């Protein structure tokens, strides 16, 4: 391993790598366990296509259906939570909370548009 003078001169506690400098992204819409389970099913369908193409397609379709259903449920829950946070607020006294809700709507909508 080579000596990195620039890295050695950085103050303690300062980010050292590109991955550490990245801002945290938005939280995933689906929990990792659900995403992983769907990915495994889709991978199984891809791996078995040569031997059983129709069964593989049915499994891929089922994985797709599960993913879309879970995504729809997650989005509905996200909407419910957002709406509950601003629906009964007085717009004159709670502008910061309303602005935060608007940013959250913008973020999730933009993510959907870029899928």
Handedness of CA 40, 43, 49, 51 (dihedral sign): negative
pTM to 2 decimals? 0.67
Q: Which residue bears the tokens 């819409």?
A: 29
Residue-wise DSSP of 37-104: HHHHHHHHHHHHTTT-HHHHHHHHHHHHHHHHHHHHHHHHHHHHHHHHHHTT--TTT-HHHHHHHHHH
Q: For the segment 58-104, what is each residue's pLDDT rounded down to a tens digit?
A: 999 999 999 999 999 999 999 999 998 888 777 666 788 888 889 99
């Amino acid at each position: 391993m080579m000596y990195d003078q620039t890295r050695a001169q950085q103050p303690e506690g300062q980010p050292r790598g590109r991955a550490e400098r990245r801002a945290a992204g938005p939280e995933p819409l689906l929990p990792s366990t659900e995403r992983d389970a769907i990915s495994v099913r889709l991978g199984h369908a891809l791996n078995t296509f040569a031997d059983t193409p129709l069964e593989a397609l049915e499994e891929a379709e089922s994985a797709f259906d599960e993913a879309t259903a879970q995504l729809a449920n997650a989005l509905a829950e996200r909407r419910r939570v957002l709406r509950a946070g601003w629906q009964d607020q007085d717009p004159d006294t709670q502008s910061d909370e309303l602005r935060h809700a608007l940013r959250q709507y913008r973020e999730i909508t933009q993510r959907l548009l870029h899928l």
